Chains A and B, each alone.
Chain A
Amino acid sequence: MSQEDTIQHAIQSVVDLYRNRFELLQAAQAPKIGWVSIETPEEIFLAAGVIPFRLTGEAGTSASEAGALLSNNYCSYVLGCFSEGLSGQYDFVDGVVFADACDMRKRLWEAWGRDVASSETYFLELPSDASDLSKEYFTLQLRKLIKAFEARYDREISDAALCESIALCNESRDLMQRLYQYKKGKRQVLSGEQSIQVVKAATTGLKELFNERMSALLDALQTAEEPKGHKRHRVMICGSYFDHPGILKTIEGAGADLVCEDISNGVKYFEGKIDPGTDPVAAIADFYLEKNTSARRLDTDVRVQHILDLVEEYRVDSIIYYSLKFCDTNLHDYPYVKERLRAEKIPVLFIEGERNATNIAGTKTRIETFLESRLF
């Protein structure tokens, strides 16, 4: 097997965790609980012996029903998740935790409780800043979630168990961060689509397996050679939930590299590490509030600063700001974010679209025009 084949094989092995997630999750003995926002602390699920996995909203077959029971003017990620629930995709799970990550997810929580009878729902209050007051309150909310899990599974969630799960999640974060070091350099070992799929694999909740396969991937990469040739244009994508392969291919097809995804299916998921300290619950609460740099963060300047840091870290040349249609927080943020980025002379292209849009010819043209003027 060639070196390149070895690397691709290792990547596929990781990505398979995402592709085969339903089979793998159903085969696992442990109880499973889903989540929809990356501000949901998986550490608590794991300490309860529960597999935490993200709802991706890709496998539903009840899109029309979801629109009728919620609204068609909703973000397509939320509708996709609801469609999965309605079509029985998650009949094997014990429940879903809905963090208050946006108004539409809050309404999804209510609709899920009303129309998806097979699983329990948990609502997690989530402050939008990282003040001491908010951290204190979020800690209380996490303790409530812990109590709910303890009651549900008749087991104590000890600090030791939390520390263990923190270590496990930190290991995943560390491995992802190491992988993304390559994206900071010249060598783009993963395509944009693969990068997102690797992050999605990390969110399937099969942490040990993920860590094992990621370690193998990193081992394989160690032997890879530096590419030759001139520097390619480096693009970062930021905004809403995003995983549109057609757009990713358009960016790369135009001759640019997608070097960073500042989205929940990208670096936002695995940034930072938790120091459990003496109170692991408080440490988890602090971590999740501090690391929130999404559009939901109260102070948009925190988000903008994070984008600027990533631009420097990943040596980004231009940004594509992608907002799902009806994603209000990202839509609200855009005029200000654009203004700040342009002040820093960072080119930015705004795209508002549907997650599964098939007719993207217009979007392709815009991306190509935006990039071509910078490539040549």
Chain B
Amino acid sequence: MRHEKSQQDRGAQYQNLLSLLGNSRSDAGDDGPSLKAGRMRSIINSHRLAEAYKEKSKVAYVSEQFPSEIVLSFGAIPWNVESMANMLAQSVDVDVNRIFQLTQERELSRDICSFLRGPFGMMLADCYPRPDLVLTNNQPCEGLLKLGVMAGKNHAVPVLALHTPHTVDEDSLVYLAKQMKYIISQMEERLGVDFDPDALRTAIEHSNQARDYYCKTLQLLETQRLPGVSRELHEIFGMNYFGAKENARLCKMLYEEALELVEDEPQKKKRVLWIGQVPEESHELLQHMRQVVEVVYWAPLWEGNRMMLDENRPFESMAERAILYHWSAERMSADILWVCENYEIDGFLVAYEWGCRNMMGVSPALRDLAKNREIAYLAVDIDMVDRSNNYTFNHIKNRVDAFLEILQ
């Protein structure tokens, strides 16, 4: 595979991307239910992607859960560097291997989470659109912060970073809010656009409209079996496009579609809460599990994902959301306990993405929680992106089968 090396030409970078994604795993079999919302999401993402490669577009690389409302208020395109790892997972193995080979040629350790190595490799392959700046943060993990810094070095553009404290208190909220305001002042300079408070207000309104539908859909899931809906909520969370008008429409569509799926007497299957990073919907492990149980994803239910922003205190509100997105054994245990109580959860499957120290470190608290609540618990080591590294389906299948048997 040959890549045109260009730091300047977004057109060439787009061609590089296409060459990487030439063969997708679309024929992988049971991809799960197809929702209209899913198709709408694809269109939104396609449009966003195409726009980002236009020379005149203003592109900001963002790490997961950076307050997208701020980026959108500048009319810039938030390019989530990590979500590209999921796109990698859906590509053919040979191309994925090439991407990881590039990172190894640069001596980036293979012990680093592949959700971080993947985007780094994509940058080395020069197939991401050249950014105008990088916006990063240390939540949920420090690896993302480092990835953002390295992206800035790679493209020689400024890196603006949020340091998100662990503790939710007034000092931390004020500190974060001040950082956001500082970042805005720097964005004005870099993007050559004056900050418009009304544009931010509009973005926050769109964000809340979307969140309102998002939360209503979550509520439906409490008692209803809605095929594909939990997954779609997860995808919308992964897009991190809150603040965009299209995202509000997308969430509305999903809610309306979920309403249509509501049944008077829903068919019950045992529910397993998938905790940790998630592979693509067509992943063999998910396909295997779905034959026996309903998989509910924890991430969309995360406290930060259920939070509406305070339109009168937008910065403090975004600050609080940022802290709630941090890994915390205490908060996560309380959060998952709430999920168990409201979503009739029968088992936890904790996915240790190779290299995700936070998931590994938090999970013993979840194991204790499962024990206290008499909920079946299974933790599996899995690399969902770099599959030749620490992942064998047959090995995991044996353990998952034993786990599923316990549930029956």
Contacts and interface: CB of A to CB of B under 8 A. Distances in A.
Nearest to A107: B361
Nearest to B116: A332
B112 A114 contact: no
Interface in B83-122: 106-109, 111-113, 116
Contact of B142 (A70, A102, A111, A323): A102
A111 B113 CA distance: 22
A290 interface: no
A334 interface: yes
Given A127-B163, A331-B109, A332-B108, A70 B138 contact: no
Given A137-B171, A326-B357, A129 B163 contact: yes
Contact of A129 (B161, B166, B327): B161
A323 B109 contact: yes
B111 A133 contact: no
A70 B361 contact: yes
B329 interface: yes
Interface stretch (A181-189, A228-236, A295-303, A357-365): A295-303
Contact of B329 (A114, A131, A298): A114
A135 B171 CA distance: 13
A100 B166 contact: yes
Interface in B336-369: 352, 354-355, 357-358, 360-365, 368
Given A128-B163, A133-B175, A103 B146 contact: no
The secondary-structure label for the interface of chain A is helix
Contacts of B163: 127-129, 134, 298
Interface stretch (B147-155, B206-214, B264-272): B147-155
Interface string B151-171: 001000001010101110001
A94 interface: no
Given A103-B361, A125-B172, A328-B112, A336 B107 contact: no
B109 A329 contact: no
B319 to A, nearest CB: 12
B286 to A, nearest CB: 23
Contact of A133 (B107, B182, B362, B363): B182
Interface string A69-83: 111011000000000
A104 interface: yes
Given A123-B167, A125-B165, A125-B166, A332 B150 contact: yes
Contacts of B329: 107, 110-111, 114
A329 B146 contact: yes
B228 interface: no
A335 to B, nearest CB: 4
B142 A336 contact: no
A333 interface: yes
B154 to A, nearest CB: 9
A328 B108 contact: no
Interface residues of A, number: 47
Interface in B36-58: none
Contacts of A296: 142
A315 interface: no
B179 interface: yes
A118 B168 CA distance: 26
A131 B178 CA distance: 12
26 contacts: A71-B357, A71-B360, A71-B363, A103-B142, A103-B357, A107-B327, A108-B361, A110-B329, A114-B364, A123-B166, A128-B163, A129-B161, A129-B163, A133-B175, A137-B175, A144-B171, A298-B161, A328-B111, A328-B143, A331-B109, A331-B111, A332-B108, A332-B150, A335-B106, A335-B108, A336-B150
Interface of A: 68-71, 73-74, 100, 102-104, 106-108, 110-111, 114, 123, 125, 127-129, 131, 133-134, 136-137, 140-141, 144, 296, 298-300, 323, 325-326, 328-329, 331-336, 338, 350, 352
Interface of B: 106-109, 111-113, 116, 138, 141-143, 145-147, 149-150, 153, 159, 161, 163, 165-167, 171-172, 175, 178-179, 182, 327-330, 352, 354-355, 357-358, 360-365, 368
Given A133-B175, A140-B171, A328-B113, 20 more contacts: A70-B361, A71-B357, A104-B361, A106-B361, A111-B329, A114-B365, A125-B167, A128-B138, A128-B145, A137-B172, A298-B149, A298-B163, A328-B357, A329-B146, A331-B111, A331-B112, A333-B146, A334-B108, A338-B107, A352-B111
6 A-B pairs with the lowest CB-CB distances in the bound complex, closest first: A107-B361, A71-B360, A332-B146, A331-B109, A137-B175, A110-B329
